[in-house]
Amino acid sequence: MYDVLNEVERGLRSLLSRPASLVMGMISAPLWLAFFVLSLEGYGLSLGGLTIQLLIWISYSFSLYSTWLWEFGQGMLDEHQDGVLEYVMGSGSSLFRHVMGSGLALLIYTVLDLAVILASFAAVFRVEPTIMDPAAFFISVVMASLSLLSLASIYAIMVAGLRSSWVVTDVLQFILPAVGGLLPSEFSPAIRLINEYSPLAYPFVLMRESATGVNELGIPIQLQLAYSLIFTAIMLGAAWLILGKADERLRRTGSLGLR
């Protein structure tokens, strides 16, 4: 536990060492949100009532996918290239503890990102975001983040040997949300099927449902919560197993990195 807390502290220092990036995110968020949402209005989409509330959580879901894939998954690859992982493993810390500690630090950043998105919608569109079930919403955000943390860390291990891994990251940034609950089930029957049968989608669907109070799948919330917990536990277990095997192999071969 102490090692994980050390990794959390290290991750927070890394985030705070880039204040320009944090400030840029706060400034750009309302701008790209306004561009995206107003573009939809130009195509005839009404921005009143439930629609604008759904757009809030679509924006936050996409932000989560982008943050965990780029800041975390691609960040692990950057740490490998810069020799940071070599230092971490050389100090005796395991890959899994490092990943969990860095992930908990990034989770704090995603909460800040949520605050910026809510404030942006309130300022630009004069809308008051609603969260009907705060407890379920908090649980869903944590499960979504832990699932993406596990997915991003496994992904980083798998593509560490690629010369242009950022290309894969860029593609996944749009593929994963499409099959992972980014869009509400009301948009089309095909999206409803994806949200109903994709395990990755359940935490994100639950996030929207707990915020808006609308059960979009018609499945009891308790059952959706159970599905989300099971999938998150499976993903964390897979990450623990894969990172543990990679850690053993790298120490055995003397390669303190990801290759």
Which pLDDT tens digits describe the chain residue by residue (259 residues)?
A: 555 556 556 655 665 566 666 566 556 655 666 666 666 655 555 666 777 888 888 888 888 888 887 777 766 776 666 666 666 666 666 777 777 777 777 787 788 888 888 888 888 778 888 889 999 999 999 999 999 888 888 887 777 656 666 677 777 778 888 888 888 888 888 989 999 999 999 999 999 999 989 898 888 989 999 999 999 999 999 988 988 887 787 777 655 455 5
Q: Are 5 and 13 in contact (CB under 8 A)?
A: no
- The amino acid at residue 80 is H
pLDDT at 7: 56
Q: Which residues contact 61 (CB under 8 A, 6 or more apart)?
A: 144, 177, 181, 182, 204, 207, 208
Tokens representing residue 7 in the block: 């990794």
Tell me the DSSP string of 187-224.
G-HHHHHHHHH-GGGHHHHHHHHHHH---SS-S-HHHH
Euclidean distance between CA atoms 246 and 154, whole angstroms: 10
Q: Which residues contact 8 (CB under 8 A, 6 or more apart)?
A: 101, 102, 104, 105
Tokens representing residue 1 in the block: 């536990």
Euclidean distance between CA atoms 244 and 246, whole angstroms: 5
Q: Which residues contact 76 (CB under 8 A, 6 or more apart)?
A: 85, 99, 102, 152, 153, 156, 258
Q: What is the Cα gyration radius of the chain?
A: 19
Sign of the Cα pseudo-torsion (56, 58, 59, 64, in order) = positive
Tokens representing residue 101 in the block: 């500690």
HSE toward the beta carbon, residue 15, CA cutoff 13 A:
24
pLDDT at 104: 78
Closest by CA to 11, choosing from 113, 112, 105, 145, is 105
HSE toward the beta carbon, residue 130, CA cutoff 13 A:
12
Tokens representing residue 133 in the block: 């079930």
Tokens representing residue 14 in the block: 């890394």
pLDDT at 46: 61
Q: Are 76 and 226 in contact (CB under 8 A)?
A: no
Closest by CA to 129, choosing from 48, 212, 187, 61, is 212
Euclidean distance between CA atoms 22 and 16, whole angstroms: 8
